[in-house]
Structure 1
Amino acid sequence: MFMKKKNKTRIYALGQHISMSAHKARRVIDQIRGRSYEETLMILELMPYRASYSIFKLVYSAAANASDNMGSDEKDLIICKAEVNEGTTVKKLKPRARGRSYPIKRPTCHITIGVKDISLYEGEYYVDPYINNINKDYLTPLKNLRWKNAYTGMIDENVYSSGGVWDKK
């Protein structure tokens, strides 16, 4: 039923001590997890957050690592792992009036981006984790998953038909 896997290598890029809150970086990371490399670059270029630039550089670095180390092509890469962990907090004291001081906390975070080449997994199947009985009918070949398709829009079609964001009533 399942074919023998060739090489299960994942390539990572790690950015440490990036000076931003982990919560703000997770807001961007959640949008790119599981997407293709090219789609991820388009999304990150258009996002208005400060964390987008740091994550863009890490995704670009992970793809460069994959092409250099494994000889992978960029169109076959997907983001298999994207996580943000809290780093150390830089603590300073700001002088205030009457000899008092006010603490300033500058949070940092560690961002890990992992990419995987799906051309190494040709002929294998994706098993949906929510299905208990493994049946051949429920298996989807990896070539039919969403990251193999061309660019898919981020805006849901129901936003326009149901009023959505623009409903001012």
Structure 2
Amino acid sequence: MEVRAQARYVRVSPRKARIVVDLVRGKSVAQAQEILRFTNRGIAETVEKVLNSAVANAEHNNHLRAESLVVKKAYVDEGPTMKRIRPRAKGSAARIRKRTSHITIVVAPREEA
């Protein structure tokens, strides 16, 4: 029984978010929460919220125990990019790309994962 949670349109580049998400893939929920709590990256707080949401979904909707859950899948997809213009020399312009991410975490009971 897989249970997932997703945070969409998070204002961080996917490359930066993947660094943090790679740390928790395959770990138990308690271990993943501890890693995220002490990771010195801004996006770690958001990833922890998504993980806690996935655990709450598993407990409430599927009546699973949090102690038996493992992070089965964790991945970051690229969201839409907001494009902005920055004035440059001689009347030209430079494009600024403000990237967004979709963070997905899937938890499952230990036997299934």
| More strand, by proportion | 2
Note the residue ranges of structure 2 that are not aligned, 5 or more in a row: none
| Cα offset, 1:112, TM superposition | 0.8
Note the residue ranges of structure 1 that are not aligned, 5 or more in a row: 1-8, 127-169
| Cα offset, 1:14, TM superposition | 0.9
TM alignment of 1:4-153, pairs within 5 A: 9-118=1-110, 121=111
Give the count of matched residue pairs.
113
Separation in structure 1 between the aligned mates of residue 23 and residue 93 of structure 2, nearest angstrom:
40
Separation in structure 2 between the aligned mates of residue 16 and residue 90 of structure 1, nearest angstrom:
14
Separation in structure 1 between the aligned mates of residue 17 and residue 95 of structure 2, nearest angstrom:
23
SS at match of 2:27: coil
Query: For residues 115-134 of structure 1, what are the alpha-carbon distances to aligned partners after superposition, in whole Å with 9 as ceiling and x for unaligned?
Result: 0023xx4xx8x9xxxxxxxx
Amino acid at match of 1:116: A
Separation in structure 2 between the aligned mates of residue 103 and residue 84 of structure 1, nearest angstrom:
24
Moved more, 35-44 or 92-101: 92-101
| Runs of 4+ residues deviating >4 angstroms | none
Separation in structure 2 between the aligned mates of residue 77 and residue 13 of structure 1, nearest angstrom:
14
Separation in structure 1 between the aligned mates of residue 23 and residue 91 of structure 2, nearest angstrom:
46
Separation in structure 1 between the aligned mates of residue 78 and residue 89 of structure 2, nearest angstrom:
32
Q: TM-score, normalised by structure 2?
A: 0.91
Structure ID, larger Rg = 1
RCO higher in structure (CA 8 A, sep ≥6): 2
